[in-house]
Amino acid sequence: MALPPWTIEVLRRGLTDAARKASEPQTLEKIKSQATEILQDLPQTAARHLDAVLRSAEAGKRSVEQWSRKHSAIAIPMLNASGVLIHEFGTGVPLPDKVLEVGRELISGEVVQGEAEQVRLAKRVQRLLSSQDHSLLITANFSAAMTAFSLLVQRRNLVVHRGHSVALPDGTPLPEAFQTLVPLIQEVGSINRIDPHDFDGLDSFCAIFADGGTNPVVPLDLSNHDAQQAAVLPLATLQASEFEQIPSAEEMLNQGIDYVMMPGNGLAAGPSCGLLIGPTEEIEWIRNSTAWSTLRASDALQGMMVVALEEAASDPSNLPVHALLSTSEENLRGRAERLATRLSAVDTIRSCQITADEARLTPTGRWRFPSRQLCLQHQTLTPTQWVEQLREEVPSIEASITGDQLKIDLRWISPADDRKIAAAFGESDQGNTEADTPEANVE
């Protein structure tokens, strides 16, 4: 249908009026100004949207990577922020590179093994002992070291004083720690006092003492008896160290103790195994017993432990665990302040406070070191839920709970891992500062 003439006239006049107004200078200037504002705003708006997209993509990528690693990895790395070094889930402290390398070589099967390797390792171990009258055995684990020692019941009585029927740091009472031979271990004396006369009437025995964390082992004067003495040290170093509160096998032997049982991992800086040190004659008797083949560590474990002990003897500062023990309180304070600043900017964290409680070597006991902690509250999660969530991260983070707060202790965390701690709590990598550089963590 054709448009009426009056309609055509109205449209013509409207277009003529619009063209006239568009040609006016003030109208053109207004349009130009609005266009300029729109063009200037576009990069900022685009940048904001792009940043949001990138943050979302980064978070999504990290979640996918964590899920993939968690479901494909056999060994999940752990950061021990619990404040307790000897933790039920491990120490979180890596082995020295040399120790790992020798383990890889021995496991590969391309090296000499068997009796020839055992002789070679025994010679290297012997050079590590200050007393040439003693020898050292490396067992599959700490319990195996105690079981190997208990074989000596065939040569002399094994006796525990009731004053030393203490609970070891893992909660096991000393007599029960010897497992199958518990009925063969005698108990003497009372729990209130320890006196050499408590052993009167016993012939040819070995008295067993343990460091449960309350008091150090002190040998008794048993010169009037045909007696030997053994010390069970749930944590120790082979040689004496600069940390006076930490016991060492060397100190025990110098004080008159005949046998020392200690773990190879932890402070000794080796893999999970056990160490048994004693008079050479008795140690050789154990080595030649039929039970020894079931108690000894594998060639790989023995080789790794020997290298770890050699590293500790030559330069303890090369050991990761020694570096953590040596970290100054000032270093911990500075790192805590930098981490607190970074985590306070994370939206999911409601509050962040720094505390100065002591860190521990074991859950209980006298072995404590000054430290710094971050006490955090989540916007929505309870501390228990938060701990479980962090435990499922990759790397897994082991934290503790105090009241209604999650506690992150830095004593057993390497400065290089502060960045991983921040990332696990939701901080973007873009928030990293020079605090993550090695120079910022130098003593």
For the chain, domains (ranges, CATH) are 62-91+324-441 (3.90.1150.180), 97-314 (3.40.640.10)
pLDDT in tens, 145-184: 998 998 998 898 898 888 777 777 667 777 677 755 545 6
Query: 259 vs 284, 314, 317, CA distance in Å?
Result: 13, 24, 28
Pairwise CA distance, residues 233 & 262, whole Å: 5
Q: Where is average pLDDT lowest: 107-111, 169-173, 230-234?
A: 169-173
SS3 label, residue 398: strand
pLDDT higher than 80, residue 443: no
Of the segments 71-80, 118-127, 203-212, 366-375, which one has the largest average pLDDT value?
366-375
Give the pLDDT confidence score for residue 188 in this predicted structure.
85
Q: Which residues pair with 115 in a beta bridge?
A: none
pLDDT higher than 70, residue 440: no
- Is the alpha carbon torsion for 350, 351, 357, 361 positive or negative? positive
pLDDT higher than 60, residue 299: yes
Give the pLDDT confidence score for residue 125 in this predicted structure.
81
Query: Cis (ω within 30 of 0) for the bond into 395?
Result: yes
Residue 60: alpha-carbon gap to chain centroid:
28
Q: In this structure, which amino acid lies at residue 271?
A: P
pLDDT higher than 60, residue 264: yes
What is the mean predicted confidence (pLDDT) over 61-74?
54
Q: Where is average pLDDT lowest: 131-145, 179-193, 349-363?
A: 179-193
Q: State the pLDDT confidence band at 282, using cuts at 50, 70 and 90.
A: very high
What is the mean predicted confidence (pLDDT) over 179-196?
72
Give the pLDDT confidence score for residue 68 in this predicted structure.
53
Q: What is the DSSP letter of 273?
A: -
pLDDT higher than 70, residue 28: no
